[in-house]
Amino acid sequence: MNVKLIGFTPNPEKIPAMAAKLTHSKTKPEDLDKTSDKELKSVLDYVMNLGHTSVIEHASFNFAISDVSRSLTHQLVRHRIASYAQQSQRYVNFNEPNYVTPPKIAKNKEMKKAYDATMKNIWGEYNRLLELGIPAEDSRYVLPNAACTNVIVTMNARSLLNFFELRCCQHAQWEIRQLANKMLREVKKVAPAIFKNAGPACKSKGICPENKKDCPLYPK
């Protein structure tokens, strides 16, 4: 899995801070840019601590994500306040096997051997269908959820906070949890104030929505 932050709103923390200040100020929006960085940081910290996160919707982040499974992207697109562009199995020929292996399978030699043999057979049938003249958009029906795909994702900061709460959780599936943690590390580099408390709900809110008391991160 590869995750890279390829773009984001310029001044991703300054603009939300200006938006927050605007709501309690007589100053015209175009003049808010004259506010000192120190004051804007203080305003942003204040509204974030209050949980008034609507202002951070003004900051968006673009991610390039590659070599993840179709199983992961089926979960990813359930996060509706986002934009997605995914590699098409209709127009791209996937004649070479490329798939994700779950860790629990990878660490068991016998299971790994059977898994790889299954994938080899699947791709053999896929290529046979292509050779018979079946278009890729129909041949792809035999490809597994494990098939690798690439996607570009854009989310605003508020949606990302919600995404991290749900997908950084220990009870999220391993692959999307790995993705969420990689995305969180990327955005912390450019917007540390917004994402300083981001993560699973046990970290961001001090609660466990799953009420899983056996989880090592369960709030004490």
pLDDT, one tens digit per residue, over 176-217 is 999 999 999 999 999 999 999 999 988 888 888 888 777 777
Q: Total domain count for the chain?
A: 2
Q: Please check whether residue 89 lies inside any domain of the structure.
A: no
24 and 64 share one domain: yes
* Three-state SS at 100: coil
Give me the mean pLDDT over the 95-122 stretch.
96
- Distance, in Å, from the CA atom of 107 to the CA atom of 97, rounded to the nearest integer, reads 20
What is the pTM assigned to this prediction? 0.90
Which of the residue ranges 14-23, 27-36, 61-70 has the most confident prediction, judged by mean pLDDT? 61-70
77 and 53 share one domain: yes
- Distance, in Å, from the CA atom of 163 to the CA atom of 84, rounded to the nearest integer, reads 15
Catalytic residue among 70, 140, 158, 167: 167
Which residues span the domain enclosing 9? 2-84+148-204
* Three-state SS at 64: strand
Active-site residue 167, yes or no? Answer: yes
Mean pLDDT of the chain, nearest integer: 92
- Distance, in Å, from the CA atom of 89 to the CA atom of 136, rounded to the nearest integer, reads 7
176 and 156 share one domain: yes
